[in-house]
Amino acid sequence: MHTPTKESPSAFMRAVPDGTQDGIDLTNGAELPNKLSLMFGRWLDQPQFDGDGAPMDLTGLDDDEDLGALRQLHELSLTRYRDITRVLAQVRDDPDPSLNKDARLKLAAKVIQPKLDEIGETAARELARTEAAIEAEMDAVAAEVRRAPPDELAVHPDVRAHFKALDERERGKQLDQAIATGDRVTLQALTAGPAYLGGLTAAQHERARYALARLVSPDRVRRVEALRAGQKVARGAVHRLQKQAAKFIDFNRARELLAHDARRQAQLSEG
């Protein structure tokens, strides 16, 4: 990260974008793609930096509008980051001798702030929309996991009593077996009531619920997983954009300067 000197054309910036730290070097305009990927994340179908690093299988979700909106939001964050660094370079390189550092700061902030406001509004809208989609899918999954014929419902208490009577090790072993074999009746019985009825821990109960959901409604669960992962990537990218912009520009100072200019203009108009 370069520290601008007081009298340099870069003095209006808190810090000058540096390739090593910021993914884009304002000195020569060079981009470091790997650094930008680390900063803004990769989309779900690309190798990831966390977990096991594997990309997510998005088969069947290519035309999902909600997931597509999150991808666009992720891409827009990086596009706006490039826009912001170009604005900084343009303001720095403006040859107007009347532009001191405060004037350059105001000029940069007036262009950059609306870009941040716009993407912030877009993010709030799209994240809320996808959250509603997730809730709708989860409601549908919940209805499906509860659906069972009467003869199966009749044995649920017996299944829970059987599990509760087992010792801890055997209970865990039989739960693992039910999950591995896709034993829907057992999983429905264990998840139809509170965890303690089957002698399960909260973690085991949640495992059983998740396994049952994937068993009876795999497509909906895959979509929910993709939307949640997409939200995380998109939200993180927008947050990183805002953080980087604040690293380069003191928006509070710019607002104070612009407010002072507005008050002075008002006084001149009154006079």
* pLDDT value at 264 more than 70: yes
pLDDT digits (tens, 9 = 90+) for 107-161: 999 999 999 999 999 999 999 999 999 999 999 999 999 999 999 999 999 999 9
What is the percent of the chain where pLDDT is above 70? 97
User: 3-state class of 149 per DSSP?
Assistant: coil
d(CA 46, CA 44) in angstroms, rounded, equals 5
| Chain centre to alpha carbon of residue 103 | 35
Q: Buried b vs exposed e over 145-174: b needs ≥16 C-beta within 10 Å?
A: beebeeeeeeebeebbebbeeeeeeebeee
Determine if residue 77 is left, alpha or beta; phi over 0 gives left, psi from -120 to 50 gives alpha, anything else beta: alpha
pTM: 0.87
pLDDT digits (tens, 9 = 90+) for 177-218: 999 999 999 999 999 999 999 999 999 999 999 999 999 999
- In the numeric block, which tokens belong to residue 183? 């034993």
Average pLDDT, the chain: 93
Residue listed under structure tokens 């070097």: 25
Question: Are the beta carbons of 152 and 188 closer than 8 angstroms?
Answer: yes
